[in-house]
């Protein structure tokens, strides 16, 4: 038995499913989760001393690669000053200034501890500001696990085969309207029926929890226009896209400005951090300034801020990083697309910059419905084969692949070669 198998058996006795987040279980591809011991650059090392080229990157945060020296140094230094004070600190001011300076639509920002919290709080602020209760979300978009947003919520929920979640009272989702990603008419339909009651539209500007589905031209602009017409707020959930597609996230990349933005993942540099922010007039409603209550014992934690600051500062000071990352993504996913076309495989490769997904379907993937046509058994075989070859992909068809600055061309060529070998044998 491998160490991972042994640990998984022990884990399963004391942790539900043996994991602290369902996406880490290998349920949808079969097999045992690898227990990771350490990570450097683009590589993960498991307890059995296997090495993997990592395409998960802790689900996004590790954009500079694992164990980046400058980030580790800053964190170590912060630790020496004390782990938490529950009081205001200078680094929080620095961090807020940095985020406001990087993300174009953010004038004020509040730190929280996760993406889930960030989105939940942004939605509360939107409801508080507009005095309206309904929100529109898109099928296949994931916005964390808060009650009101666990409707048609993509990835983790999707592969578990459970449409939503037990334990979410019907009353909590009665104000959550579902629309179809990339279909403006489905959004307009809701606005026409009850536009006066809609506080906000929340969207992943690039949907990255049903694989990767880029917005069709005009989609984000159309959402902006509909929100303006009906007096609703536009919330971008940039927990994945923030600081990934550009220093200013998807809003900079696509040039469409939301009223509120939720951030997570990269902003913490690997530590548990989320943030929400946006227009000053909205954010001034947040407690203690205004009546929208939101709080957090460990929010703005100095060690977490140190990791985030170190990573964001590097990203801000090196605009060429984004050119490099996006070029690498265009090349890698382009090669993968060429490969699937050359071999005439029933596959689709979607990508935006460093985010990408290989779907096992003949249909173009533009929304939740088309994403679901993917052959998840074929994906499982592919994923397991790659794992055996030392390539760590997210163990689900409906998760994105994340490239980091630490992935080299040599590694990526090797990965393409392995994928080709799989396809020549199997499909
Ligand atoms: C990961 C994610 C979240 C939730 O963030 P957590 O830190 O896991 O709570 C919210 N929205 C999107 C788009 C995400 O990818």
- At 186-243, the pLDDT tens digits run 999 999 999 999 999 999 999 999 999 999 999 999 999 999 999 999 999 999 999 9
Mean pLDDT along residues 87-92: 98
The pLDDT, as a whole number, for residue 63 is 98
Q: 180-200: buried (b, 16+ CB within 10 Å) or exposed (e) per residue?
A: bbbbbebbbebbeeebebbbb
Q: Which ligand 1 atom minimizes the distance to the CA of 265?
A: 7
Q: Which residues of 118-129 are buried (b: 16+ CB within 10 A; e: fewer)?
A: bbbbbbbbbbbb
Residue 320: is it exposed, middle or buried by C-beta count within 10 angstroms (0-12/13-18/19+)?
exposed
- Per cent of the chain over pLDDT 90 is 93
Residue minimizing CA distance to atom 8 of ligand 1: 115
- pLDDT band at residue 62 under the 50/70/90 scheme: very high
Find out whether the beta carbon of 270 lies less than 6 Å from any atom of ligand 1: no
pLDDT score, position 163: 46
The pLDDT tens digits for 149-181 are 988 776 665 544 344 789 988 888 999 999 999
For the chain, where do the domains classified as CATH 3.90.1150.10 start and end?
Answer: 3-67+319-426
Please report which confidence band the pLDDT of residue 363 belongs to, taking 50, 70 and 90 as the band edges: very high
Q: Ligand 1 pocket, 239 CB below 6 A?
A: yes
Q: Is the pLDDT of residue 426 over 90?
A: no
The pair of three-digit structure tokens given for residue 331, joined into one six-digit string: 């090349």
Is the pLDDT at 408 greater than 90? The verdict is yes
- What are phi and psi for residue 199, nearest 5 degrees? -75, -40
pLDDT at 410 over 60: yes
For 309-347, write each residue's pLDDT tens digit: 999 999 999 999 999 999 999 999 999 999 999 999 999
For residue 115, the CA-to-ligand 1 centroid distance in Å is: 4
User: For the chain, what is the mean pLDDT?
Assistant: 96
What percent of the chain stands above pLDDT 70?
97
146 CB burial (10 A radius; 0-12, 13-18, 19+): middle
Q: Is omega for the bond preceding 60 within 30 degrees of 0, making it cis? A: no
The predicted structure's pLDDT at residue 16:
97
Q: Is 140 in the pocket of ligand 1 (CB under 6 A)?
A: no
**Structure pTM?**
0.97
| pLDDT, average across residues 291-304 | 98
Q: Could you report how far apart the first and last alpha carbons of the chain are, in Å?
A: 31
Segment 35-59 shows an average pLDDT of: 98
Which residue spans of the chain are classified as CATH 3.40.640.10?
Answer: 69-317
The domain over range 3-67+319-426 is classified in CATH as 3.90.1150.10: yes
CA of residue 234 to ligand 1 center, whole Å: 18
* Least trusted range by pLDDT, from 52-61, 63-72, 172-181, 297-306: 172-181
The residues annotated as belonging to the active site are 142, 237, 265
Q: Which of 19, 57, 119 to mutate to test the pocket of ligand 1 (most atoms within 8 A of CB)?
A: 119
CATH number corresponding to 69-317: 3.40.640.10
b/e sequence 264-296, b meaning 16+ C-beta within 10 Å: bbbbbbbbbbbbbbbbeebbeebeeeeebebeb
Q: Work out the pLDDT band at 390, boundaries 50, 70, 90.
A: very high
116 C-alpha vs ligand 1 centroid, how far in Å?
A: 6
- Closest protein CA for atom 11 of ligand 1: 143
Cite the beta strand spans of 117-232 per DSSP E: 134-138, 176-179, 198-203
Residue 260, Cα to own-chain centre: how many angstroms? 17
Q: What was the pLDDT predicted at 170?
A: 85
How far is the centre of ligand 1, averaged over its atoms, from the C-alpha of 128 (Å)?
Answer: 22
Q: Are 187 and 375 in contact (CB under 8 A)?
A: no
């Amino acid at each position: 038995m491998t160490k991972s198998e042994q640990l998984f058996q022990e884990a399963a006795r004391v942790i539900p499913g043996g994991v602290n987040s369902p996406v880490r279980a290998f349920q949808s591809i079969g097999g045992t989760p690898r227990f990771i011991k350490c990570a450097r650059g683009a590589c993960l090392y498991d307890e059995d001393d296997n090495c993997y080229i990592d395409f998960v990157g802790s689900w996004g945060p590790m954009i500079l690669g694992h164990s980046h020296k400058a980030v580790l140094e800053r964190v170590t230094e912060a630790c020496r000053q004390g782990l938490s004070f529950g009081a205001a600190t200078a680094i929080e001011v620095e961090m807020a200034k940095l985020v406001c300076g990087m993300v174009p639509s953010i004038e004020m920002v509040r730190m929280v501890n996760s993406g889930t919290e960030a989105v939940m709080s942004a939605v509360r602020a939107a409801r508080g500001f507009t005095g309206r209760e309904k929100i529109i979300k898109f099928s296949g978009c994931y916005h964390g696990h808060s009650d009101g947003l666990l409707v048609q919520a993509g990835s983790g929920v999707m592969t578990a085969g459970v449409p939503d979640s037990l334990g979410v009272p019907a009353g909590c989702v009665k104000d959550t309207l579902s629309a179809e990603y990339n279909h403006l008419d489905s959004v307009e339909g809701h606005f026409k029926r009850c536009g006066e009651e809609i506080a906000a539209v929340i969207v992943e500007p690039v949907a990255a929890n049903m694989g990767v589905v880029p917005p069709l031209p005009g989609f984000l602009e159309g959402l902006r226009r509909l929100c303006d017409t009906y007096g609703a707020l536009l919330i971008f959930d940039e927990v994945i896209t923030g600081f990934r597609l550009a220093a200013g996230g998807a809003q900079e990349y696509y040039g469409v400005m939301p009223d509120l933005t939720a951030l997570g993942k990269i902003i913490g540099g690997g530590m548990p951090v989320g943030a929400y922010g946006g227009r000053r007039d909205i954010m001034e409603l947040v407690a203690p300034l205004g009546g929208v209550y939101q709080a957090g014992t460990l929010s703005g934690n100095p060690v977490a801020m140190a990791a985030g600051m170190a990573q964001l500062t590097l990203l801000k000071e090196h605009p060429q990083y984004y050119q490099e990352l996006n070029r690498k993504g265009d090349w890698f996913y382009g090669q993968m697309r060429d490969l699937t076309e050359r071999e005439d495989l029933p596959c689709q490769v979607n990508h935006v910059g460093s985010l990408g997904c290989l779907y096992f379907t003949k249909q173009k993937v533009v929304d939740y419905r088309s994403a679901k046509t993917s052959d998840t058994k074929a994906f499982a075989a592919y994923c397991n084969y790659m794992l055996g070859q030392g390539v760590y992909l997210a163990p689900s068809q409906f998760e994105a692949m994340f490239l980091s600055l630490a992935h080299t061309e040599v590694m990526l060529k090797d990965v393409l070669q392995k994928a080709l070998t799989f396809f020549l044998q199997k499909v």
